[in-house]
A and B are shown apart, each in its own frame.
Chain A
Amino acid sequence: MPLHHHLFLEETKMAHRYPKPLLDTLYCLEDHIHWEEEEQVDYNEYSNTTTTNTNSSNVVLLEHDLFWDHEELPSLLAKEHQNQLSNTLLQNNLVLASSREEAVEWILKVNARYSFSTLTAVLAVNYLDRFLFSFRFQNDNNDNNNNNNPWLTQLSAVACLSLAAKFEETHVPLFIDLQLEESKYLFEAKTVKRMEILVLSTLGWKMILVTPLHS
């Protein structure tokens, strides 16, 4: 498969899933993306070989890892539905869209700084969007004004990135180290801890996500 074609397919997948601001910020991570592409090429090479060549391949895929059974696709689609709710929220609230964009950019910078995986970034942004949607929905019902506090979006971003890293990475920095990347606010560990619990209970502890990286 030509590399530029592969890149186009990846962009199409991402464009389908996320608003454009995420795609724009991904260009800043060109080197990181290139590294990911290298791995994808290995994956293709492995799939195409008749005999297993474990000496040269970095990808350890077992034969039965690649087989799908009938239950998997409906299961993935059922999980997919919960991710589709966030876009309308941003279209109706420009202030929130702006602070969300800043938060996403911050997540991507920290992700790159610690060499977290692309999946960690995808998870963190997913948690953030679902939380903002759900939290906004709750506050609309309560008729109060918390929804426009930009510090709340940034605190949510710290908690969501921490949760994503805990789920996906083997080494997770301390809350304070996670916030070394410049932002307007610096939150205490106990504050992030309470926000983590709020995010988890708001999302119903449903933290496993369907992404292109699964398929």
Chain B
Amino acid sequence: MEMEKTGAGVAVLSAKEAFEKLEKVGEGTYGKVYRAREKATGKIVALKKTRLHEDQEGVPPTTLREVSILRMLSRDPHVVRLMDVKQGQNKEGKTVLYLVFEYMDTDLKKFIRSFRQTGQSIPPQTIKSLMYQLCKGIAFCHGHGILHRDLKPHNLLMDRKTMMLKIADLGLARAFTVPIKKYTHEILTLWYRAPEVLLGATHYSMAVDIWSVGCIFAELVTKQALFAGDSELQQLLHIFRLLGTPNEEVWPGVSKLKDWHEYPQWNPKSLSTAVPGLDELGLDLLSQMLEYEPSKRISAKKAMEHAYFNDLDKGHL
């Protein structure tokens, strides 16, 4: 068969031959994640397995985007490094893709949970360092025309020893063009979802990631999700109770968004009531991340320049 002969021209080292699986460490959208050792070097890596047999229409769009985007972004220290892509076959002989990543021993979700369990607060300088790295990584993505769109503590990998933070799981990320096209609506994890997305905007931009960053910032301080809704409506109501129900004055155009309707009218409360323990500069930065109007929300690059980070030693970040 011609196709077989063509395919044979590309030499592919089997993933089974190259790696020894040590343990399963997670389950992603399209398959499992393993801690593994590369036999040739002894190096520990994370293998993300993507099954193709369940999708008869070839390579899934999320895998295509994740790999292409990571191929472009992996040189930033705050984006998880994709080392290789390998083809293999599973027990039933179906084609499998293995994404080979640098291994990171924990994520921000586990990190926050460990402090919640002991009852201790995360040290303020640790919060500041993690937030700076997050802003820097997101600024790098945005500077290369990439929206993440699913920022949450689980997607922020960490090394406990060095306290380095890396952005992962860019499977939902998109390279954006001008004008920004409509994107699918039901994408972002609810708790970190920007209000314009909840209200049905389909043209949106880097500001959706900044909203998520703001929610993560508050969660680092309080160890609880800032807005923990269990439906889109409840998510909006959580936001409105704290920041006040938006109107045309604070957010021009809000009442024309597709999913807008009448809501209970709340007045804004001070952010310090929801995020006790954060200092004035931190509260100011947080408030700029949680601006209702997307065009007024601070950019990641500007956030890095905010006075909140002035006393942080940035030399090693």
Contact = CB atoms under 8 A, between A and B. Distances in A.
A146 interface: yes
B179 A59 contact: yes
B29 to A, nearest CB: 15
A90 to B, nearest CB: 21
A59 B151 CA distance: 25
Contacts of B42: none
Interface in A101-118: 117
A192 B68 contact: no
Contacts of B180: 59-61, 65
A163 B68 CA distance: 11
Contacts of B67: 200, 205, 207
Contacts of B64: 163, 166-167, 200, 207
A129 interface: no
Contact of A170 (B2, B85, B87, B184): B184
B6 A152 contact: yes
A75 B64 CA distance: 21
Contacts of A152: 2, 6
B59 A201 contact: no
Say which size band chain A's interface belongs to: 35 or more
Q: What's the dominant secondary structure at chain A's contact region?
A: helix
Contacts, number: 138
B52 interface: yes
A43 B184 CA distance: 23
A208 B175 contact: yes
A32 B254 CA distance: 31
Interface stretch (B115-123, B159-167, B198-206): B198-206
A200 B59 contact: yes
Interface residues of B, number: 51
Nearest to B73: A208
B206 A65 contact: yes
Interface stretch (A10-18, A19-27, A50-58, A92-100): A50-58
B7 A207 contact: no
B72 A208 contact: yes
Contact of B3 (A59, A60, A162, A191): A191
Given A43-B178, A200-B67, A205-B68, 12 more contacts: A52-B252, A62-B294, A65-B180, A146-B5, A166-B64, A193-B56, A195-B3, A200-B59, A201-B10, A207-B67, A211-B177, A214-B145
Interface of A: 39, 42-43, 52, 54-55, 58-65, 69, 71-72, 75, 79, 117, 119, 138-139, 142, 146, 149, 152, 159, 162-163, 166-167, 170, 172, 174-175, 189-198, 200-202, 204-208, 211, 213-214
7 contacts: A58-B179, A63-B295, A64-B206, A72-B144, A79-B72, A200-B59, A208-B175
Interface of B: 2-3, 5-7, 9-10, 12, 52, 56-61, 64-65, 67-69, 71-72, 85, 87, 95, 97, 143-145, 175, 177-184, 203-207, 252-253, 256, 294-295, 299, 301-302
